Amino acid sequence: MDTIQNYKCPCCGAPLVFDAESQNLHCESCENTFPLETMQQMAEGSADSGGASKYDWEHYEPRSFEDTNEVTLANYSCPSCGAEITGDDTLGSTVCPYCGNSTIVKGQFEGTLRPDYIIPFKLNKKMAIAAFEGDFKNAPFLPDSFKNKKKIEEMAGVYVPFWMFDCDCDAAVTYNAERVTAWSDANYNYTKTDYYKLFRSGSIGFANIPVDASKKADNTYMEAVEPFNYKDAVEFSGAYLSGFLADKYDVNAEDSIERANERVKNSTIEAFNDTTNRYTAVIPESSRVGFSNGKIRYSLLPVWMLNIKYMDKMYKFAINGQTGKVVGEYPVDNGKKWKYFAKVAAAAYVAAAAIGWLLLH
């Protein structure tokens, strides 16, 4: 015997009963009526979106770096923050790109894991400095130390390690939505609110979802400095490291999967959200994301890094080495700020006094 499906009112939660006269489901509590077909669709949509999300990634087997004498490399370690980076053996004085420490210990190159691909730097140091200087012009009350050319030139170009995730996604999302309509007549203002239950399902593919693979790199900064243009990605060659630093990954692919899952799910829901813009308010209720053909690759992406200390705090900046996008928090020189407001207040006082004198005379 088939299981009897019981439907509850989406408005008040009371049981719905079949009304023979209208051939619809009726709520005796709030007096709303719903077509049977609509309630069946709602039940199916809730079942689709209410399941557990499933993620399936392939196991990644890293490759060893083979020295092909394209460029002579050395290992550099920072005694301050513990960063271990690789760079051209001909680099002169090196400043740690992560903490700004100027005492970097140079050692014998011991090899690393070979990336699957690399996006070469498009911005040289001069161009990166110009991007930074153009960005800080919009920062109010910036301390003069941030305009110090010598300090800015300590900027370091670093290839930051990322795990790249590709997948085909199948998802279903349920939303509660509202549409507000307002109008007026000669006597009153009216507002009408309609409530909806929305369902979205479909397939979407993702390529090159990046997850920072370095513990030293700030994840917030690394995500904010995106996006990169992956059309410029090329097969890795040690020659691209000439004149730059390259961080070694210390977060393996398996430990990055949880963050990749989160980014996949958020990006999927965001893409589905774009189909609900006809409503005044839309709130996701439940979602299910599953995917297949999950692939993982190891890559190096170009980032210029700069550390500037002000008032016992180190301010960090990251500049996309491909696009020139600048990410970072600027400090405020309180002396400049109060001097500015004092001038504004003095000008306002003079203007008020002049207006008062004119009114009296």
What would the mean pLDDT of 174-193 be, rounded to a whole number? 91
At 189 the pLDDT is 93
At 132 the pLDDT is 92
CA 268 to chain centre: 14
When mean pLDDT is compared over 227-231, 255-259, 338-342, the highest value belongs to 227-231
Across 50-59, 85-94, 260-269, least confident range = 50-59
> To 10 degrees, the CA torsion angle through 41, 7, 13, 289?
-40
What would the mean pLDDT of 330-335 be, rounded to a whole number? 79
What would the mean pLDDT of 112-126 be, rounded to a whole number? 89
The model's pLDDT over 30-76, given as tens digits with 9 standing for 90+, comes to 888 888 777 777 766 665 555 555 556 677 676 666 655 566 777 77
Residues 6+ apart with CB under 8 A from 274: none
- What's the alpha-carbon Rg for the chain, to the nearest Å? 29
Residue 217 pLDDT greater than 90, yes or no: no
CA distance 32 to 206: 42
User: Both tokens of residue 172?
Assistant: 């279903």
The model's pLDDT over 336-356, given as tens digits with 9 standing for 90+, comes to 767 766 676 666 656 666 666
The model's pLDDT over 266-325, given as tens digits with 9 standing for 90+, comes to 888 888 888 888 899 988 888 888 878 888 989 999 999 998 888 888 889 999 999 999
Structural element, H or E, at residue 294? strand 281-310
User: Both tokens of residue 161?
Assistant: 């390690």
Nearest to 203 by CA among 168, 174, 173: 168
CA distance 271 to 119: 26
Question: How many CA within 13 A on the CB side of residue 296?
Answer: 21
* Contact between 36 and 85 (Cβ < 8 Å): no
CA distance 256 to 167: 15
Residue 92 pLDDT greater than 80, yes or no: no
173 band by pLDDT with thresholds 50, 70 and 90: confident
At 340 the pLDDT is 62
Q: Give the per-residue SS3 of 164-214.
A: EEEEEEEEEEEEEEEEEEEEECCCCEEEEEEEEEEEEEEEEEEEEEEEECC
Query: Is the previous residue joined to 227 through a cis bond, with omega within 30 degrees of 0?
Result: yes
> For the residues of 35-94, what is the DSSP string, one character each?
EHHHHHHHHHHHHHHSSPPB--BPPP--EE----SSS-EEEEE-TTT--EEEEETT--S-
CA distance 44 to 88: 59
Residue 1 pLDDT greater than 50, yes or no: no
CA distance 230 to 207: 9
Residue 166 pLDDT greater than 70, yes or no: yes
* Contact between 80 and 57 (Cβ < 8 Å): no
CA distance 12 to 57: 42
What would the mean pLDDT of 66-92 be, rounded to a whole number? 72
225 band by pLDDT with thresholds 50, 70 and 90: very high
What predicted TM-score, i.e. pTM, was given to this entire model? Answer: 0.73
CA distances from 125 to 60, 86, 248, 306, 307 (A): 34, 18, 22, 11, 15
